[in-house]
Structure 1
Amino acid sequence: MGIAELTAFFGWMTVINLSIIAFTGIFLVFFINVVSPIHQKMFELSDVEIKKAYFKYLANYKMLFITFNLVPYIALKFML
């Protein structure tokens, strides 16, 4: 597998994961009142704890996305 194939792989992986982050963020903004009570009952957490968990999830996902998708893609683009 050459650099061009790796670049294409990381490029598509970046697009897919970025759309997951965007979809999740938009979904939480518009439907937090629907989803939050369900998760409160499932995990027995308060409203404040659920919102912190959502924020922590998005923050961790974003950090992993940048580290394992975006940075390798940019590095490979520089190598071409």
Structure 2
Amino acid sequence: MSIPLLTDFFMWTTILGFWLLMFSTAAFVIGKKSIYRIHRKWFDISPSNYDMLIFAYLAIFKVLLIIFSLIPYLTLLIIG
């Protein structure tokens, strides 16, 4: 695989990943109560624990996106 091809690949994974992160954040902010009701049927979880889990999910997703998508993209831009 060539460096330009890998650069394009990581560029698109970064763009799509951050779009998904923004969409997920907006969905949880806008539809917090209805999404909680759906999860409440499956799991016995309090609203405060639910908020903590959603925050942890978004934080972990962001960190993994930066490590596995944004940093390789920036590295390939530098060496390319």
TM-score range, shorter chain: over 0.9
One-letter amino acid of the counterpart of residue 21, structure 1: L
Where do 5+ consecutive residues of structure 2 fail to align?
A: none
The residue aligned with 2:37 is 37
The residue aligned with 2:2 is 2
Give the distance between the partners of 1:16 and 1:73, measured in 2 at CA: 13
Q: TM-score, normalised by structure 2?
A: 0.96
Instruction: Kindly state the Cα deviation for residue 43 of structure 1 after the two structures are TM-superposed.
Output: 1.1
Q: TM-score, normalised by structure 1?
A: 0.96
The residue aligned with 1:51 is 51
Give percent identity, aligned residues only.
34
Instruction: Kindly state the Cα deviation for residue 41 of structure 1 after the two structures are TM-superposed.
Output: 2.3
- Ranked by relative contact order (alpha carbons within 8 Å, sequence separation 6 or more), the top structure is 2
Where do 5+ consecutive residues of structure 1 fail to align?
A: none
Q: What secondary structure is seen at the aligned counterpart in 1 of 2:31?
A: helix
Is 2:20 the counterpart of 1:24? Answer: no
One-letter amino acid of the counterpart of residue 73, structure 1: Y
CA-based RMSD: 0.7
Is 2:65 the counterpart of 1:65? Answer: yes
